[in-house]
Amino acid sequence: MLAYLIRRLFAAAVMLVVIILVVFGIFFLVPKWAGVDVALSFVGKQADPAAVEGVRQKLGLSDPVFVQAWEFFKGIFAGRTYAAGGDVTNCSAPCFGYSFRTEQAVWPVLTERFPVTLALALGAAVLWLIFGLAAGVLSALKRGTLWDRGAMVVALSGVSLPIYFTGLLSLAIFSHGLGWINAEFVPLEDSLSGWLGGMILPWVTLAFLYAAMYARITRATMMEILGEDYIRTARAKGLKEQVVIRKHAMRSTLTPLLTMLGMDLGALMGGAILTETTFSLPGLGQKVLDAIQNQDLPFILGVVLITSLAVLIANLVVDILYAVIDPRVRLA
């Protein structure tokens, strides 16, 4: 088990370096090769030539590519200084970039909004795992029944309906219509009940989409596993059906779901743009949308880095959970 963990940590470290270099290439090299002025992208099209030249010097765009890549890489772990003549701007570690438009370092702004996105993703994940797994397992065990067909119709609706439709519909019914829920976001430090009230509808709306997908995958996987030889052997040995399902079938069913969970949670760490916009949540998704509208490239770069790192960490955790759930992974 220890050797397995060491191998996975080493692979994650290598992948981290690759991710940082790829992000650097996308935001600094690709625009340059396409004939786009990178400095102009960072400072804005309406900036005067002196400001553009200052940003060009601060970013070191005239330096060799490997020097630029090293400065970008080093800044994430040790901080960075942007200097142009006597104009010096310090960006403390971890430096995910600096917005020369708003005169703000990217990392503090993103960490201020990250807790909202984290709470949204984790709360929704708990709901979609509970209801998605339960619906999928019951549908597989009651194949062809009214429950199975009804659950799959609901799941198909959840996959098909966009979040901005289900979100606005839930707001219209439960908040504006019935008045049961105050959907206005309230910071957790101000009021726990107000925070929960503002997060319930976003949780349910986001979970409805993912629970539908997880229910369909769980049903298909469970039905396939229930036909395996080792399941028939377990039943032939006289084991109770609940033991067969819980101890044998569920373990194999959870493997693909863990992979999905790692990818989905990692992606949501970069912001659930539609959900946050629909419910006016001040998370990373809302910040990404604002950055795109204002063409504020450093914040977009920062969110891309956070999302990539979140997916990497989530997949590392999933690989470790694989070894816990399925001993064959440790033996391999």
- Work out the pLDDT band at 328, boundaries 50, 70, 90: low
Q: Which pLDDT score is estimated for 203? A: 92
Over residues 102-116, mean pLDDT: 88
Q: What is the per-residue pLDDT across 72-99, written as a single tens digit (0 to 9) for each?
A: 999 888 888 888 777 788 888 888 888 8
Q: What is the sign of the dihedral through the CA atoms of 276, 282, 283 and 285? A: positive
More reliable by pLDDT, 20 or 332: 20
Q: Which pLDDT score is estimated for 326? A: 66
104: pLDDT strictly greater than 80: yes
- Residue 42 CA to residue 91 CA, distance in Å, equals 16
Q: What is the per-residue pLDDT across 148-157, written as a single tens digit (0 to 9) for each?
A: 888 888 888 8
- Work out the pLDDT band at 255, boundaries 50, 70, 90: confident
Contact indicator for 31, 38 with CB cutoff of 8 Å: yes
CATH 1.10.3720.10 for domain 109-330, yes or no, is: yes
Q: What percentage of the chain exceeds 90 in pLDDT?
A: 5
What is the distance of C-alpha 13 from the center of its chain? 19
Q: What percentage of the chain exceeds 70 in pLDDT?
A: 97
Burial class (CB in 10 A: 0-12, 13-18, 19+), 2: exposed
Q: Which pLDDT score is estimated for 330? A: 57
**What ranges do the domains of the chain cover?**
1-95, 109-330
Q: What is the per-residue pLDDT across 313-326, written as a single tens digit (0 to 9) for each?
A: 888 888 777 777 76
Contact indicator for 188, 118 with CB cutoff of 8 Å: no
Place of tokens 């009214």: 146
Q: Which pLDDT score is estimated for 1? A: 67
- Work out the pLDDT band at 126, boundaries 50, 70, 90: very high
Nearest of 223, 315, 224, 209 to residue 261 by alpha carbon: 315
Burial class (CB in 10 A: 0-12, 13-18, 19+), 16: middle
- Residue 285 CA to residue 113 CA, distance in Å, equals 9
How do beta strands 98-99 and 87-91 pair?
unpaired
Task: Report the chain's mean pLDDT, rounded to a whole number.
Answer: 84
- Work out the pLDDT band at 327, boundaries 50, 70, 90: low
- Residue 95 CA to residue 139 CA, distance in Å, equals 49
109: pLDDT strictly greater than 60: yes
Q: What is the per-residue pLDDT across 168-194, written as a single tens digit (0 to 9) for each?
A: 888 888 888 877 787 788 888 888 888
Q: What is the per-residue pLDDT across 271-308, written as a single tens digit (0 to 9) for each?
A: 688 888 888 888 888 888 888 888 888 888 888 888 88
Q: What is the per-residue pLDDT across 197-239, written as a single tens digit (0 to 9) for each?
A: 888 889 988 888 888 888 888 888 888 888 888 888 888 888 8
- Residue 10 CA to residue 16 CA, distance in Å, equals 10
Q: Which pLDDT score is estimated for 123? A: 92
Q: Which residues contact 277 (CB under 8 A, 6 or more apart)?
A: 164, 285, 286, 289
